[in-house]
């Protein structure tokens, strides 16, 4: 995924499915470095991770 698509998803009101390593995640924010994003798993767990945006896939 690229930076522009991450920004579009963050500003969208739609429920856009994004996967990281085959697992559905929510993108919380694009980080200041422009290369990483903070995400968390969909579901009851609120554990957040910082991942490279090129590793995110839109389903």
Domain positions in the chain are 3-58
pLDDT for 12 equals 96
The per-residue pLDDT for range 2-53, each reduced to its tens digit, is: 999 999 999 999 999 999 999 999 999 999 999 999 999 987 777 899 999 9
Q: Of how many residues is the chain composed?
A: 59
In CATH, the architecture of 3-58 is Roll (2.30)
Going by C-alpha positions, the residue among 23, 22, 27 that lies closest to residue 11 is: 27
Find tokens 């903070």 and name the residue: 38
SS3 11: helix
Find tokens 């798993």 and name the residue: 41
**Structure pTM?**
0.88
- What does the block give as tokens for 12? 């969208």
* pLDDT value at 59 more than 90: no
């Amino acid at each position: 995924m690229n930076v522009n698509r991450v920004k579009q998803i963050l500003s969208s009101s739609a429920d856009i499915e994004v996967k990281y390593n085959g697992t559905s995640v929510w993108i919380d924010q694009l980080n200041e470095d422009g290369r990483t994003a903070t995400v968390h798993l969909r579901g009851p767990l609120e554990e957040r991770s910082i991942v490279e945006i090129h590793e995110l896939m839109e389903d």
